[in-house]
Amino acid sequence: MKQTAGSERRQRTVHLIIERQDTPASKPYTQEFLVDYVPNMNVIACLQAIQRNPVDKNGTPVAPVTWESNCLEEICGACMMVINGKPRQACTALVDNLTQPIHLKPARTFPVVRDLIVDRSKMFEDLKKVKAWIPIDGTYDLGPGPRMNEKDRQWAYALSQCFTCGACLEACPNVNDRTSFMGPFMFNQVRLFNAHPTGAMNADERLDAFMQEGGMHECGNAQNCVEVCPKEIPITTSIAAVNRQATRHAIASWLKK
């Protein structure tokens, strides 16, 4: 019985093939790892096991794999990586639901810092371009602001769940080194803040910014973004809504000339 149990335990391992990169300028390479299986473990648990015992599949000591994570509850977006060919959150990628060997790669839409860590600062710089916030400076003492009706609040809440993980950019064929497309997530941001009763004051400014280079016209409507969004945000609905807003805005601007 002991041999059977031991044999079964040896068989209960998780096989990972990880694409690594030591520096932003160095070439990527792959390493294979085996970690002990634990019921209900996720990809982050596998990476933590490698960190505790950094040896490859053959038992050779290697540098620990680096990655990012924070909340472990699919809220922060930091652990987004490509898992078995699909961009997703490592914290909610359960080993039991994945085909082995599990392939882990960084999201190469973004510059790689090291191993599975990428630099997503472009997303936050693009958010600044469209003023993705509600400017309320100087209004703190004016009392409660205007309220949204319940119907609008419901769909606005769905859009607000975007946590800039970057999965939609990784899946979008129009986000690449030949374009400056901001990415699908920006449609949600423009629609969300333009719908806010106070944010609507800057709606034209947002649309003007999003109609410039890297903006909405570079979307090819591939709809890959909807397939990979961890929050199932209706991005294609936002694409249609923002396109309508931009058309009305363009016509109105032309008539004012």
Task: Identify the H or E element spanning 9.
Answer: helix 2-11
Average pLDDT, integer, range 187-209:
94
What fold is seen in the domain 2-118? Ubiquitin-like (UB roll) (3.10.20)
**Domain residue ranges of the chain, discontinuous segments joined by +:** 2-118, 121-256
Average pLDDT, integer, range 225-232:
95
Average pLDDT, integer, range 125-134:
94
- Contact between 206 and 190 (Cβ < 8 Å): yes
Please determine, for residue 2, whether its predicted confidence score (pLDDT) is greater than 60.
Answer: no
Q: What percent of the chain has pLDDT over 70?
A: 95
Q: What is the pLDDT of residue 139?
A: 66
Token digits of residue 46: 């596998």
Pairing status of strand 117-118 against strand 112-114:
antiparallel
Q: What is the pLDDT of residue 18?
A: 98
Average pLDDT, integer, range 202-221:
95
Token digits of residue 91: 């914290």
Who wins on pLDDT, 96 or 10? 96
What fold is seen in the domain 121-256? Fumarate Reductase Iron-sulfur Protein; Chain B, domain 2 (1.10.1060)
Average pLDDT, integer, range 159-183:
95
Handedness of CA 46, 52, 55, 61 (dihedral sign): positive
What pTM was estimated for this model as a whole? 0.89
Q: Mean pLDDT in the chain?
A: 92
Residues whose CB is less than 8 angstroms from the CB of residue 2 and which lie 6 or more positions away in sequence, other chains included:
none
Please determine, for residue 8, whether its predicted confidence score (pLDDT) is greater than 60.
Answer: no
Give 70-86 pLDDT, tens digit per residue: 999 999 999 999 999 99
Of 137, 135, 125, 247, nearest in space to 186 by CA: 125
Euclidean distance between CA atoms 107 and 167, whole angstroms: 8
Q: What is the pLDDT of residue 11?
A: 55
